[in-house]
């Protein structure tokens, strides 16, 4: 893992922090300075139970936040992509483990700095509330998916959701493995694989390679997502 110091406005969309010209620095309160951290594939960013000293934003790559049951069953709460904020906690401990999915760059903002700043800067505080709200809405959507949708509906919903979060909304390059998808959707890798194959057979999607999915028939996918 490689670390560098960066000054970036917390609310700006993800840009390579190192590329911000020095003239910008003066515009940004010093307290929002963040540490840029590069992670290789599958590195731990923080672990469940660790002190929640930082809040993070994804610059590039993807991060998964997950929890384990005592016997090892894993549930991936969410995948965080470019621009997403993760690691916000009400208490002082992280309730999830966060790991890089592929090679990933994040910015870590010291929590106490942010909290101090939020007291005076209500716009910043607002940003946090918005970030939290987004997490809440995502979690609630996921509850509906896990509680009431079948395998095809889960996969279809997942693909559409992912497609909405990336630039090219017709071709999805999956940053994560089938295991990750399974642990996110409450399925097994076999079911994920079978369901994707089935959707390909039905010409709803294309699978040019294992990590690339072409949304051939988005209407059909939306119908299948229930």
The span of 19-27, 130-138, 158-166, 207-215 binding DNA (CB under 7 A) equals 207-215
Rounded to the nearest 5 degrees, what angle is found at the Cα of 60, between the Cα atoms of 188 and 154? 25
Helices (H), the chain: 111-120, 122-148, 151-164, 178-185, 189-201, 218-224
Among 113, 127, 193, 217, binds DNA (CB under 7 A): 193
Using CB atoms within 10 A of its CB, is residue 213 exposed (0-12), middle (13-18) or buried (19+)? buried
Nearest to 56 by CA among 79, 29, 78, 84: 84
Chain residues 134-173 in contact with DNA, contact rule CB under 7 A: 150-152
The span of 29-37, 66-74, 79-87, 189-197 binding its own copies (CB under 8 A) equals 66-74
Q: How far is CA 176 from CA 42, 96, 182, 209, in A?
A: 10, 18, 10, 13
Quote the least distance from Cβ 148 to DNA, whole Å.
9
Among 30, 129, 179, 207, binds its own copies (CB under 8 A): 129
Chain residues 71-110 in contact with its own copies, contact rule CB under 8 A: 71, 73-75, 77, 90, 95-96
The reply to whether 123 sits near its own copies by the rule CB under 8 A is no
Nearest to 103 by CA among 145, 63, 154: 63
Cβ–Cβ under 8 Å, residues 116 and 31:
yes
Among 32, 100, 135, 195, binds its own copies (CB under 8 A): 135
Q: Which is nearer to DNA, 60 or 103 (CB)?
A: 103
Among 186, 217, 218, 220, binds DNA (CB under 7 A): 186
Could you list the residues that contact DNA (CB under 7 A)?
Answer: 150-152, 177-179, 186-194, 196-197, 207, 209-211
């Amino acid at each position: 893992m490689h670390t560098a110091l960066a000054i970036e406005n917390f609310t700006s969309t993800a840009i390579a922090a190192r590329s911000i010209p020095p003239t910008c620095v003066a515009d940004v309160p010093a307290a929002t300075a963040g540490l840029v951290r590069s992670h290789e594939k599958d590195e731990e960013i923080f672990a469940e139970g660790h002190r929640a000293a930082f809040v993070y934003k994804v610059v590039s790559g993807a991060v998964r936040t997950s929890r384990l049951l005592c016997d090892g069953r894993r549930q991936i709460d969410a995948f965080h992509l470019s621009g997403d904020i993760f690691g916000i906690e009400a208490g002082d401990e992280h309730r999830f483990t966060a790991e890089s999915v592929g090679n990933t760059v994040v910015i870590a903002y010291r929590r106490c700095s942010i909290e101090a700043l939020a007291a005076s800067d209500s716009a910043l505080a607002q940003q946090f509330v918005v970030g939290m709200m987004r997490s809440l809405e995502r979690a609630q959507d996921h509850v509906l998916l896990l509680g009431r949708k079948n395998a095809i509906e889960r996969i279809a919903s997942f693909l559409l959701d992912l497609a909405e979060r990336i630039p090219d909304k017709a071709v999805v390059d999956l940053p994560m493995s089938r295991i990750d998808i399974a642990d996110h959707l409450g399925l097994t890798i076999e079911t994920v694989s079978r369901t994707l194959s089935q959707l390909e057979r039905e010409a709803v999607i294309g699978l040019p390679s294992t990590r690339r999915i072409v949304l051939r028939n988005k209407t059909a996918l939306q119908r299948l997502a229930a």
